[in-house]
Every structure is written in C-alpha cells, then in structure tokens.
Structure 1
Amino acid sequence: MKLQAAAKASKWFVYQKIVIVFIAFLIPLISMNIWVNYKGMSLTKKSILDSSLAGASFYSKQLDKEMYFIRNLQLQFLNDKDLQKLSFRGSMLENYEEVQLIEQVRDRLTTLMVSSDFVVNTGVYVNAVDKTISTLTGVTNTPNTEYGLISKLMSTSPKPSIYRSGDRIFFIETENNGGVISYIEISKFKLLEALTQIARLSEESEVLLGNREEGPILSTAVNHQDTSAFLGLIDESSNNTDISRIQKFNGTSYFIIQNNVSSLDLSLIMYVNQNEITRPLSLFITWFYALFVIAIIVMILYSFSLNVLIHRPLSKLVKAFHMIETDNLNIMIESKTKDEFHYLFHSFNRMASKLKHSIEENYEQKITLQHSQLKQLQSQINPHFLYNSFFNIYMMCKVGDSESAAELSQKLSSYYQYITRSGSDEVPLYKEYRHALDYCEIQCIRFANRIRYEYEEIPDTTHVISVPRLMIQPIVENVFEHAFEDGTEEGIVYMTTHCQEGFVRITVEDNGNLLTDQAIDLLRKKLAMDSKQTEKTGLINVNNRLQLKYGKGSGLFVSRSTYGGLKVDLVIMYDNKEE
C-alpha cells in the first residue's frame, strides 16, 4: 500500500495549523458573543430608558391633572354665588348678612384647601368689603400683609402662569375687573416631593420644573447652575408632551426627558447621566471583558500545550530523521511519557538499530566478498605460466645464458611473492603498478624475439593512494593471453598514467589484431552489468572490486585502441572514497 504525501511542502508546523483552525472557529463565537452582549446591553438600556420615560410621563401627567384640578376649583370658586353677592352688594349689606356671606365664602375656601395636599393656603380679596378672607389669617381688613403680597404679585408683567414670592408659589385669578382676587398658595415642599418621586425612577437622576422665561421654579439638583443650563435645552416648538433624547453637556452624555405641564405652563425635565443608567450593566461588561481575557489566555495555553504535547515531540522526531538522512545511525530518542509518541520513539529507535545492524552486516559481507575475491585471484595462478617460466629458465641454463636465467628467476620470484603473500589487502598504487611491470618484464624475457612493452613512470603523487592488490596485472595478463596468442610478431603493450586531484587513470593498450568490435562491445556490456553477476575472475572481477571500493565513476572502461588492439582504462575516483 502506498501512502500519498502532500504535493507541496508547507512552511507552517502542524501545531500552528491546529492553533489557526482553533482560532478560526473561536473568532466567530467571540464575535457573536460581543454582538449578543452589546445587543443585550442596547436592549436593556432602551428598556431602562423607556421605563424612565414612562414613569416620568405618568407622574408628570398626574401632577398636571392635580394642578388642573386645583385651578378648576379656583375658577369655580370665583363663580360662587355667595362670593359674587358679596362682591356686588358688599357695601349695601347689613352687618349680619355680610358676616354670614363672609363665613360661607370662608367655608368654601376651607373646602378648596382640603381638596388637595398641594394647597397650604387659600384666600380671596373682596374689594366691596375691603377685606381679605383666608384660611390661614382669617378675615382681615385691608391693608394687611397678605393683601400687600398678593397685590404686589399682581403687578408682575407679563402675567405668569404661577406667581412666586421667595419660596412661596401662588395661583392668582381675578374677577369683576379686580373686584375679587382669588389666590391659592401651593406647597413648595409637596411639589418638591413630587419631583423627588419622579427622580427616584432612575438613580442619580435630577428633575426640574420651569421654562426659559421664568427659569427654574423647582429642582431636585443641588447645583442650580446646571438646571438653568438644562432649561436652555427645552424644545418649546414641539407639541409632543413626551420628548426623550441623549445630548452632551459639558462633555457628558445625558438622557433627557421633557414633559409639558400645561396647567402650570411649565416644562418638567428629568435628566440623568447616561453612564449612571448603564451602571447596572457595567458588571456584565466587566464579566464580558473578563471572559474575553480568559478566552485569550485559553488560546495561549492551548497553543502552548499543543507546542509541548505535539510540536516538540514531532520536531524531535523530524530532527532524528534528518540525522538518519546524514547517515548518522548512532541516535536514540528518549521518551519521558507513555503516550503515542513513546511508541513512535521506541519504534524509531528499533528501526535505527535494525538499520545500523543491517548496514554493518552488509558492509561485513562486502568486505568478506572482497577477501574471497582476492583469495580466488591468488588461487588462479596459471600453472602453465609457471611451467613455461621454469622451462625458459632451463633452456637459458642449457645454452649458457646465465644472466637471463638469473633475471627471469629474480622477476619470477618477486612476482609470486607479491601474489601469494598474506597480509594487508591493500597496497600503495605505485607497488601495484610495479608488479604489473614485473609481469610484463617476465613475459618479454620469455618472448624476447616478438613481444615488448612501453610504459610511463607513475607520478609520485600516487604514493599516498592505496588500492586492493592485483588490480592492474590481470589487465596486462589479458593482453598476453588474448591479443598475442597467435604468435604475433612485434607485439607491443603500452602503459600510460594520468593523475589529477581526486582522479587516477591507468591505460593499458596493445597492437593486437585478434579482438573484433563485437567482442569489445560484449566485454563493455559485461563490465556495465550489475556487480552482483556471478563471474568473479579477470577483468570483470577487477571492475567489480573498483566500483565496490571507490563508488560511481570508478572501474574499467574498454574501447578500440589507436594502435589497433584493445584499450583498457582503469579509473580510480579516490575522492568518492574519502566522502
């Protein structure tokens, strides 16, 4: 089964993607919470304002009705027949009848006063008898203090809806061209109590009664300077009896309710700081911000926990795989937890251990194979070559050529000592090259009449290069066995070298004419085959050992020589070995 990977690598870590997805889901919830919160606050605020408006409107109408009631009673009193009779016939009445009418008028005044809690005094001035009749001072001849106050108030122009003298408030009406003056004193305390009752509808609210011309009549506020300013906000052009709006004053937003008290020709204004209205909601705002901060903290803690629980173990695992890619197998991942990552780390450690063990086994198998191949080459000593060499020595001795016999014996001894001794499997390159030259020398002594060789000295820079033994000699041996086997006259072997940094090439060529192009192509294909082929002798063996030791680019490469025979290039890329 194949596992498909992502088509394009992402620069984001897994835990970052999870956090982003979490935030992406959380943001709509937070946004909806903000919207619901502010929507709820707006509805609650509107409900509070509507409640305050309804309450203020109700109490102002009640006050207006009460004042209308008092004024209507006052107007009815002016039309009272006893008062009218006293006013028109006062100077013509006998003493008894006058006293009787005055008492009847006084009773009506008493009835008028007890008709409302707002009335503290009722009175009437009758010009015909030159007396004031009052529920407070009784029947008094004029001039007197009460009449002096009323007459002074009557001189006010233009005529107000209510009359004020200090803290005293009066309703004054006249009849019969000033022959009868009815006055009712309204309790300022009771009026202020009514305004205070309206102000209680909302905490920190204030109520005032007045208009722009007369200024504030009554107010629940301590600072009367502000009340005068709020009177300037009265909308006298509106016919609506209930007006509410939010307006800024001295940098503060106020909720203002205006109700017209038509019986007094005044406006009742209730104003409250908007922040005071929403103060009960401040607790919810505080909780909202607290929950918002908690949500931020949760996101941070969630991100941190993902980093600790997922990102760090994954990063540790990724780093371990990167080290594996650099061929560093001496790595173990420690796990302090017992979760899924513990299983992954344990499996990774087992995989790395098995991989290291497999590589070591494979390397040992390759080394063993090299040893066996070398032993196999050493065991492949051609007995005919040995027999023929001894026969050549015998014939040289018979003909008395002792120097040639001695030289061939010495070369033969050196040759067999090199290939049969046990020791290091690797030798310096220059010794391997010298061994191949010894082989050529032996062959040229044996076939002195028809074979010779030409060579270049190997550079001193190759003295530091070590190679497996028996790398060059099998190439030269192949030339003598196959290129000159038909007794070719003037057979020549050419050996040249080319060295540069990290690269050595040794070329062996001959001028034989037995090798066909098809044979060269066949040999080239065999050399290009996988190193696991079964043939382990001759040129194939040398090629496999070079590739095994020095890697890609190294080995044997055959072609047609410019001299007519076979050209074999032995290439060593010793930089690959160092890497």
Structure 2
Amino acid sequence: MINVARVYSIQTKLTLNFLLILLPLVGVSIFANFYSQSIMNEQISDRTKGALLSTLEYVDQLTKNMDQQTLLIASNPNIVDIWKGIDNPLSPDHLYEIHTVQQQLTALTNVNGAVKEAYIIHGESGNGVSTLKGGVKWPEVKKEFWFEQTIAARGGLVVFVPTKDSSNPLAHSAYISEDMIYYIRMLDVLSNNKEPNVMVLAVDKSSFQKIIQNLQTSNNINITLFYNDGFVLETNPNSQQIHEQQPFSIKVESGVWSIRLEQPKAEVFQLSHTLQLFTYLISAISIILAFWIAWLVYNGIAKPLHQLSSAFKQFSSGNLAVEVIHHRKDEFGFVMNGFNRMAAAQRKMIEDDYEKELRLAKAEFSLLQSQINPHFLYNTLDSIYSVALTKQIPEISDMVINLARFFRVSLGKGRDSFTLEETAQHLMYYIRVQQIRSDHFTVDIDLQEETKEIPILKLILQPIVENAIIHGLEKSFNGGYLYIRSRIEEGSLYVEVEDTGVGISKEKLAGINQEMDKITNKSYLNSPDKPSSLYYGLKNVKSRITLYYGADANLTVESKEGESTKVILRLPLRKDEDR
C-alpha cells in the first residue's frame, strides 16, 4: 500500500516540482534523438535498397546473356544436325562428329568467361559430351528433376541451382557441383528424336559473388542471393556478430531473383549511437541533479519539520521517552529544544500520577486478598464445629488434615498465582472438607489440556466453589453435582463453576448481576459510598480479577431456579500465556 504521508511530504513535493521542470526537456531531447534516428534509418534503407536493386540488375543481365547463349547453341545447325537420328553419341562411328561438337562448344563458351563448362546430353542413351570431361555417361539423366523441367519448358530456359539438401536427387551426382549454377535448354525443340537432347551451361557462382561483392563494405555484412526464394550463395556465412546482435536487414526482389543484406544495427547507426548516448547522459545527469537539489532543500528545511512531526506522532501514541536529537543552532534547533523540554515535563507528570494510581491499586489488591482468607477461615471452622457435633474423631481428623493442606497451599510461599491445574488440586482439599461435612454431592472437574498450565490469580475460584456448596448443594436434599470446567475462546480463558443445587430466583439473580456490573477497574473500594456486604465473596473475586487482568475480565452468574447455578469467569490471556 502507498504511504499517504510520504506522498504528501515536502520532500516528495520538492522532487516532483524539479522533475516537472526537467522531464519535458528530457522528453523533447529523447524524442528528437529517436526522430533523427528514424530519419537516418529510412535514408539508409532507401540507399541500400537502391544498391541492392542495381546489383540484381547485373545478376539479371547475366541470366539474359546465358539465355541468349544457350539459344544460340541450341539453334546452331552444325551442332543440331550431328545429334539428329543417332542412338549413342559415344559409339565409335560418331566419335569424330562428337569431337567436332566439343570443339564448337568450347569456341562458343569461351566468348563468355563466366561459363566454366558446357554439356550436350543425348536424351535416349544418357550419354553426351562435355567441354571439360569429354565423353559423359549419364544413364539416369532422364530421372533428374532438372531434365524433367527442361522437357516441360519446351525450349524455354531452365535455371537449376544445386543445394546441400540430401533429398535433392542431384546432391551426389558426379556431373553436378554446388559451386555452379546451371542454365539448361532443349537442343532442338522441333526435333523428332525419341528422347529430346538437352544442353547445359555451368556458370561458376563466383561470377555472381563478384557482382554482389561490391556491396560488402564491412566484414560484418552478409549478402545472400536467392533464386525463386531458394538459397544461391552468401558473401559472409561465418560472421557470428550479425546473429549475436539484432541485425539491420533489407531484402529486395526483381523477378525470380532476390537479394538480402544483413548488418549489425550497432555498426549501421554507429554515428548516431554516440549522439544517443550523449543525450541519455545529459538526461540522467539532469534527473540526478533534480533529486540532489531536492535533497539539499529537504535537508535544510523539510527534514527538521519531519523530525518534529514524527516526534509528535510518537508522543501522542504513548511513547513518552521520545526525544529529538539534533545539532542545529538555528530556529529549528530552538523549536526542537522546546519540544524536548515539554516532553520531559509531561513524562514526569504522567509518571508521578501513574505511580500514585499503581500504589493505590496494589493497596486495594492486598486488602481484597487479605479479606478472602479470614472469610474462608470462619466458614471452615464453622464446618468443623458442625461435624464435631454430629460425627466422631476420624472424620474430624480427615477434615483437619485437608484443611491444613489447604492453608499450606494458600500461603503459596509468597506466590500470587498458580496454574489452573494446581488451583484445581488446591480446591479439592477444600471440597473434600465439605464432602465430609455433607456427603451428598459429587465433583466433576473437566479442564481442557491446553488450559492446565495457564497461571491464574490464587483464591479466585474458592469463594465461588464455597457459594456453590453452601448456598446451592447443601440446600438441595437430593444431593447433586459440582462441575468445574475450562476452555480457551477468543483469546480468553473461561472457567465455569456449576452446581445442580436449588438455583437462584430471577429477582435475586438480577440483583447479583447488577452489583457485579458496578465493579470496574476503578474498584468499588474507591467509591465514596460504603460498599454493600451483600455477595461479598463474588464482589471480592470480581474486583480482584478486574484489578489484575484489566477491564476485559468479567464474572457473570447464570441460574435456573430449582435446577442449577453457573458462575463464569472470563480471564484475558496475556501474550506469554496465549497458546
């Protein structure tokens, strides 16, 4: 979540004001930089496209020359007539004629230095003649893809570019090289041979590379030539820098030929890159200066105000020990010293009042606790006296032993509290005395396991149990049950003491609860009116738990006349007791 106080702080406002002045200037500079770079990119792209199109014109011109030369050879009667009507051009009967054809091919191809080799292949036998290899035996030539294309072209020129693709049927042919581009045409489209004869001109790819090499102005440029979108050659296949960076790439097409140029953008825009870095540097320095100036102003004016504001918030939240530490000797230092003096005086006054209240509360607490033991002692002695009149010595002995144990635990060696489990064991000494006196009720103690180790104030359950036995169970002629239960709920320990005695009338129950509601953490002993002696034990317990546990502690009484009475203690758990 956003801290609203920080959003509206003086430092934030100062920084935003400086940034509002600088950011438009920085934005304009960055926009101008990107705009100039886009113009330069467009201009470079246009010039590059023009150069690539000019190169494709040379490539296309070379193809046209091959078209004219193949047409010239394919229509030469001196060559066409020799290949008419023969079954095998490599038979001894035709060696002289074939040699003559080879010489004529050599003479014709020497005119164009780009042509490295020329073939004439006999369609029926697959045999033929080459300007470099002499006789050629190519029995499977009719199955070649380029041969089928040439037949389908019916005298048109076919351009074949071998590739490294293993699926290409010519990939491993002895007469086909990946370094060549082959121009193929039927020797005589009007011949009546069983199988048409074809002629092939092989042009070295280096001739094309020389044409496009003029565009290679850097070692990091790679130019790729395509024919019908198929790869032909590239000028710089081993340049890793192009692929490692985002390349500047342009591709243009002209008919069946296309060419692509790739170059690292960092190299293309090297000149504008320096200007771009300079713009970013100026922008960064401007923003840093804005923050620095805002900090200087804040440190001189806003920071002491923030210190004072923070000190006031802490003091109002209850941190009475807060103090503004500074070394200033100006007006802010005077105000900070005044705050420190005011906080010290207020702290001393509050501490004095708190100590008075604490002493008073301790005195009341000791008074209330001291009133419990005599009250209990009188009732217990009365019980022993009653038993002495009606029973013999063993019962009195048993009562005296349990009574002695009860007082021994009550002293507690100076302890103010016992665990709930210890308190229950302590109560059993008293309950045993009462059971000997009036043996017609049963005790059931059910403490949840997680509540047994929780410490509670001593002698807060004994008056409640005493009331349950004397005012509830003893008056019930049919006997009954005394239940003591515990549980943890909503961060508090609940202890219930319930008897199945005679119960309490509605009017009396309303009076009890009314008296309990009068008792707050200001203790009814502080009241100017003399405390009522009614319900003395319950009021003592309520006052003690209110003083000890605070205003959240409570004692409530529930009853059904003629059936049962339940007293519920609610004791808030402290952090070290919350399990």
Q: What TM-score, normalized to structure 1? A: 0.43
Larger CA Rg, structure 1 vs 2:
1
- RCO higher in 1 or 2 (8 Å CA, sep ≥ 6)? 2
